[in-house]
Amino acid sequence: MANPVLPSSGVLAPLGLDSVRVLPGFWGDRIALNNEVTIAHCQEWEEREGWIGNFRGERPRRGREFSDSEIYKLLEAMAWADHPGLPALAEIVARAQEGDGYLNTRWSGSRYTDFEWGHELYCYGHLIQAGVARLRRHGEDQLTEVVTRAADHVCRRFMDTNETCGHPVIEMALVELYRATGTERYLEMARRFVERRGLPALADIPFGRGYYQDDVPVRQAQVFRGHVVRALYLASGVVDVAVETGDQELLKAVESQWERTVARRTHLTGGMGSRHADESYGEDYELPPDRAYNETCAGIASIMLAHRLLLATGDARYADLAERTMYNVLATGVALDGKSFFYVNPLHVRVPATPLDGVNHAAEGGLRSPWFDVSCCPNNIARTLASLPAYVAAAKDGGVLIHHLTPAEIRSGRLALRVETGYPWQGSVSVRVLEDGAGRIGLRVPAWATEATLAHVPASSPDAPLPEGPVVRPVDPGYAYVEGPWRAGDEIRLELPMRPRWTVPDRRIDALRGSAAVERGPLVYCAESVADEPPLAGVTAQVEPPVEHEADGVVELEVGARLASGSNGSWPYGPARTPEDGTEVRLRLVPYHRWGNRGPATMRVWLPTI
Ligand SMILES: [Zn+2]
């Protein structure tokens, strides 16, 4: 089963790349672009920046202390994509491995001298995930050998210590290697890494131990906090350990931390992160649109965690958040040409960015960059898109649950299905049964789709009575089911309401008081202003039904607004006054994931309404 997450138990069993083929469409096109363009782009830059040369022993060593992990994420992407360049790159990595399994181009010679910032175990984590991908997609080879030697080294070195890594990921990687190989010490090592965190296991730092989730043990934490990617990678590993050891208390702990984090620390796009200095969550309801951090990797990590919780519990709310984050963070993170990337994803950009051709030395920026000094996000996008078919559907009790509505061919048990849809632009989804079969089919109805309908259209056949015609029934958000048995040609039609909707924030999110945003289907929209288009400062939107415009299959929206310049005085505060009239304008709204593709722009998701 070619799958990045393959729990041995849980309510749902994920279907892998060998069971789900994503066909051309919103995601199918992005997966193809990723596998053909983005993977090569990443390899080219890793070669150009010397990060691959580090493995060849080229000196001076180049890149940050964790740059090895980028080559491993790229290898994972190549493994899922069945990319022909993998064996040669794996060979370069293999040659850098030391006799006892140790492998790191930065710390060889001064091993394990900086657990807080050294990222050695973090790098192993990504290496192991690449090896698991290769094993499941292709079978054993040189890369999988390198990985088991490295994992064995980690177990020998760390099983009986109190040490752990400042950046989690080793936990979920070791559990997955256990799942792929059956070697129990990998699970035990992961369990110990989880349990020793927060005792504490790491030194205090200026950001505080909460930065790397070492402030309290995982079981006692109330909410995700600190560095967002670290928090979500750790939580993913904790779910994996909980599922494999049958530790319900541990699973419940993560579920309740997730619940509070989603209710109080998550931006409309599904993005997480409100502070730039330490790439961290803010306090509850600290969700400023302009200072939103929302690292692309944090969005990916949130998808990884939500997917794990979905498999463990079968609860559709996890798929809802994963979908929101896929369309509004993952899809935003990469340009339409597959060659430039966002690191941070704020919801309000006040000043158009300056175009950059080379490496972006900062994470900031209102334009996508071809590469960064810290290039976690491009490689993370590459491996996520390459494995995306594995997130689409799952098996349950001999049937199939479809979480993500995308054109696809799905085969599992006695079901062979073809999904056709123009989602997320259109709300009609057709699931056609390809062969006679049996098993319940479930389709996820997103939480926002409160007026959805489902129809079962039986196949017509010359030797059967005429079908009675479709039975249309309303369905609630969650999973809508249709029972088998099935005949080839049977069809299920799901209709989702795609009217644009105005969304307002919780009153406790002070930074958003008086604002509203527009969503349509799973997409968050934003106002974008390039070149000579009207500026977005001083805008007041009229909350009225948006007008839809469709061009080249993309739905854009338009609302009325007033533009006022403000006081123009020397002091921007003054006595209370009635709203200024300003100039009437029509405000064009584009899907947030498409912003920044037309050149330097200002942008805002939340539109003041008063
Ligand atoms: Zn990143």
Q: For residue 469, what pLDDT is reported?
A: 67
List pLDDT tens digits, range 131-175. 999 999 999 999 999 999 999 999 999 999 999 999 999 999 999
For residue 375, the CA-to-ligand 1 centroid distance in Å is 6
List pLDDT tens digits, range 460-513. 765 655 556 678 999 999 999 999 999 999 999 999 999 999 999 999 999 999
Q: How many residues does the chain have?
A: 610
CB contact at 8 A, 81 and 56: no
State mean pLDDT over 27-36.
98
List pLDDT tens digits, range 544-571. 999 999 999 999 999 999 988 776 778 8
List pLDDT tens digits, range 84-94. 999 999 999 99
What burial letters (b/e) apply to 108-120, b meaning 16+ CB within 10 Å?
eeeebeebbebbb
For residue 299, the CA-to-ligand 1 centroid distance in Å is 9
For residue 316, the CA-to-ligand 1 centroid distance in Å is 27
- Cis link prior to 60 (omega < 30° from 0)? yes
Q: 302 exposed, middle or buried (CB, 10 Å; 0-12, 13-18, 19+)?
A: buried
Q: For residue 104, what pLDDT is reported?
A: 98
What tokens were used for 482?
A: 């249709």
List pLDDT tens digits, range 285-320. 999 999 999 999 999 999 999 999 999 999 999 999
Q: Given pLDDT bands bounded at 50, 70 and 90, which one contains residue 30?
A: very high
Question: Cα separations (Å) of 473 from 95, 217, 452?
Answer: 61, 48, 9
Q: For residue 464, what pLDDT is reported?
A: 57
- pLDDT of residue 529 exceeding 80: yes
DSSP helix, strand, coil percent of the chain (3-state; round to 5): 35, 20, 45
Q: For residue 531, what pLDDT is reported?
A: 80
Q: For residue 130, what pLDDT is reported?
A: 98
Q: For residue 579, what pLDDT is reported?
A: 62
Q: Which residues are catalytic?
A: 279, 376
- In sequence order, what are the residues at sequence separation of 6 or more whose Cβ sits closer than 8 angstroms to the Cβ of residue 359? 49, 369, 370, 371, 372, 373
For residue 440, the CA-to-ligand 1 centroid distance in Å is 39
For residue 117, the CA-to-ligand 1 centroid distance in Å is 16
For residue 71, the CA-to-ligand 1 centroid distance in Å is 14
Q: What are the φ/ψ torsions at residue 165 (nearest 5 degrees)? A: -100, 145
State mean pLDDT over 519-526.
98
Question: Cα separations (Å) of 118 from 50, 165, 438, 576?
Answer: 19, 8, 53, 53
CB contact at 8 A, 522 and 597: no
Least confident of 260-269, 390-399, 414-423, 456-465: 456-465
